[in-house]
Copies of this chain bind each other. A is one copy, B any other.
Amino acid sequence: MIKLRDLEYLTAIDQHKHFGKAAQACFVSQPTLSGQLMKLEQQLGLQLVERHRRNVMLTPAGEQLVKEARKVLQAAGEFESCAKALLDPFAGDLHLGLIPTLAPYLLPHIMADLNTTLPNINFFLHENQTKVLLQQLDEGKLDVLILPYLAEMEKFESYQLFDEPLMLATPKNHPLATKKSLSLADLHGEKILTLADGHCLKDQAMGYCFAAGAKEDNSFQATSLETLRHMVASGMGITLLPALAAQGNLASDTLHYGKFQAPVPIRGISLVIRPNYSRMQCVRAIVASVRKSLSDIID
């Protein structure tokens, strides 16, 4: 196969029309360049330079091939400069996956800091259910997930970001809305509105509820937290809402968010990546940034 070095020798000869100077420009000895060029000619089966004592001159074939050689070398140069540009670990595109019960409520709190600490990263945001996200992460379509950690993610690498408490969302006039000290046990016998199957929040919330002796209200399954919130506000039932989803809406006229006493139901939000993911420095920066952003919000 052709070697890039040989092409450099050829173009150097074209530039200097002199073996010694061309060799010097390539930082090799004259015999080296001479020999390699001869070998190249032999390999191609055609003469590239006419050798005279006074004068070195390219053959027509040589002239033409020098042009081709320059193109090759230019492409190689672009490859290298491209690699150099990629060397900055804090630059480039990054595809971030989040679940629907987290994205709209978390992102406003973290994106500003992320864009400040990683100004050269272009974040692409993907909202999907856990199962889909894990699949896409595995396929490489996504780089980083932020979602509640589950046991099934053990094959990936994960970083705990923060614990998000679950709060009790009730209509304002609901008996539990006025209770001073709220605990999970108070849910005993209640019917809980839930999200549609597939949302991990449903499984987690219902896990707590079942343990407390509450039951799922099967008459509805909301497809989003906003729907769920409006159902609660309409007096159709109660539900557990993640704290971040509740936060901005505490001042609602019709809704009440109740904070549980210990043991507080939580979901542990983690950042998940593939093991051996190449941009660990970037990941560490994201983890630090998100933790810092959240430390001000979650008490």
Quick check: is A140 within 8 A (CB to CB) of the other chain?
A: yes
Chain B residue numbers with a CB within 8 Å of A116 are: none
Contact, CB under 8 Å: A274 / B50: yes
Quick check: is A71 within 8 A (CB to CB) of the other chain?
A: yes
Shortest Cβ distance from residue A34 to the other chain B in the assembled complex, whole angstroms = 15
Chain B residue numbers with a CB within 8 Å of A45 are: 83, 87
Shortest Cβ distance from residue A131 to the other chain B in the assembled complex, whole angstroms = 18
Interface residue ranges of A78-118 to B (CB < 8 Å): 78-80, 82-83, 86-87, 89, 92-93
Once the chains are docked, how many angstroms separate the CA of A79 from the CA of B44? 10
Quick check: is A129 within 8 A (CB to CB) of the other chain?
A: no
Contact, CB under 8 Å: A83 / B71: no
Chain B residue numbers with a CB within 8 Å of A46 are: 83, 86-87, 89, 278
Contact, CB under 8 Å: B79 / A69: yes
Contact, CB under 8 Å: B61 / A278: yes
Chain B residue numbers with a CB within 8 Å of A278 are: 46-47, 50, 59-61
Contact, CB under 8 Å: B277 / A50: yes
Contact, CB under 8 Å: A4 / B5: no
Contact size range, A = 35 or more
Contact, CB under 8 Å: B275 / A80: no
Chain B residue numbers with a CB within 8 Å of A69 are: 79
Shortest Cβ distance from residue A173 to the other chain B in the assembled complex, whole angstroms = 53
Interface membership of chain A positions 50-92, coded 1 if the CB is closer than 8 angstroms to chain B and 0 otherwise = 1110010111110011001101101110111011001101001
Shortest Cβ distance from residue A163 to the other chain B in the assembled complex, whole angstroms = 30
Chain B residue numbers with a CB within 8 Å of A140 are: 50, 57-58
CB-based nearest B residue for A60: B92
Contact, CB under 8 Å: B52 / A2: no
Once the chains are docked, how many angstroms separate the CA of A236 from the CA of B103? 106
Contact, CB under 8 Å: B71 / A75: yes
Quick check: is A291 within 8 A (CB to CB) of the other chain?
A: no
Quick check: is A3 within 8 A (CB to CB) of the other chain?
A: yes
CB-based nearest B residue for A74: B75
Contact, CB under 8 Å: B72 / A86: no
Shortest Cβ distance from residue A255 to the other chain B in the assembled complex, whole angstroms = 43
Give the 8 A-B residue pairs with the shortest CB-CB distance, closest first.
Answer: A59-B278, A47-B278, A68-B79, A72-B75, A61-B86, A44-B83, A57-B140, A75-B75
Q: Known contacts A50-B277, A60-B93, A68-B78; can you find 9 more A-B pairs with CB under 8 A?
A: A1-B5, A3-B3, A44-B83, A46-B278, A50-B140, A51-B276, A57-B140, A65-B86, A72-B72
